[in-house]
Amino acid sequence: MSAAARRAALAAIGCDLVARDGGPGERRAAALMRRLEGREEEVLGLRDLPKVPAWARLPLAAQERVAQRAALASIADTLAHSIDGAWLGEHAHAAGEEAVDWAIGLAGKAPELDPVDGSELAGRGYALLRTTLSDPLRPLLAWAAADETPVPVDTASTCVALAMKGAA
């Protein structure tokens, strides 16, 4: 890859990251919230950009869908064997029926974590996404659940990879 092509690739990643965070007003508001919460302002360097995963470049709504699918993948066996219509309905309401059906199709193919309720689906999904990030990239994912349980990296990576295929 030529130097110009590398610069263009880095610029494309940077543009995607800036675009997904909204306009200047939203970025200023997010920076203010970080300061009020006592979190340091962390800045990515050019060396970090090639390591940014594809899901982190997606708009926030698409990122949430990937997080939900990753969480659903982590409970695929439980979903497939459940006869609790209300519990399945919670997940369908949170992520959509098509996403739950997709996850049920993964039964036996995805690592299994403890089940979560539909209201905890986003928290589980974002925990999985965060686990796949190296420390310098963690600021890309500001959302965190208060009671986030650590997840093994290989489990998280598998669930996120399945989610990216399923969201495509």
pLDDT tens digits for 17-55? 666 666 666 667 666 766 776 766 666 677 888 888 989
Higher-pLDDT residue of 39 and 119 is: 119
- Among residues 19, 37, 52, the one where a domain terminates is 52
Q: Is there a single domain that holds both residue 67 and residue 132?
A: yes
List all residues 6 or more positions away from 18 whose beta carbon is below 8 Å from its beta carbon: 27
**Contact in structure between 54 and 92 (CB atoms under 8 Å):** no
pLDDT at residue 21, rounded to an integer: 64
Average pLDDT of the residues in 71-85: 93
Q: Is there a single domain that holds both residue 71 and residue 139?
A: yes
Give the DSSP letter of residue 140: G
pLDDT at residue 67, rounded to an integer: 93
pLDDT at residue 103, rounded to an integer: 94
Q: Is there a single domain that holds both residue 18 and residue 80?
A: no
Q: Which residues form the domain of 15?
A: 1-52
Residue 87, token pair as written in the block: 């519990």
* Low-confidence winner among 11-15, 85-89, 101-105 (lowest mean pLDDT): 11-15
Q: Is there a single domain that holds both residue 32 and residue 64?
A: no
pLDDT at residue 16, rounded to an integer: 64
Q: Is there a single domain that holds both residue 82 and residue 152?
A: yes
Residue 62 — φ and ψ, nearest 5°? -70, -35
Q: pTM for the full model?
A: 0.80
Q: Is there a single domain that holds both residue 13 and residue 96?
A: no
Overall domain count for the chain? 2
Q: Is there a single domain that holds both residue 2 and residue 75?
A: no
Q: Is there a single domain that holds both residue 20 and residue 87?
A: no
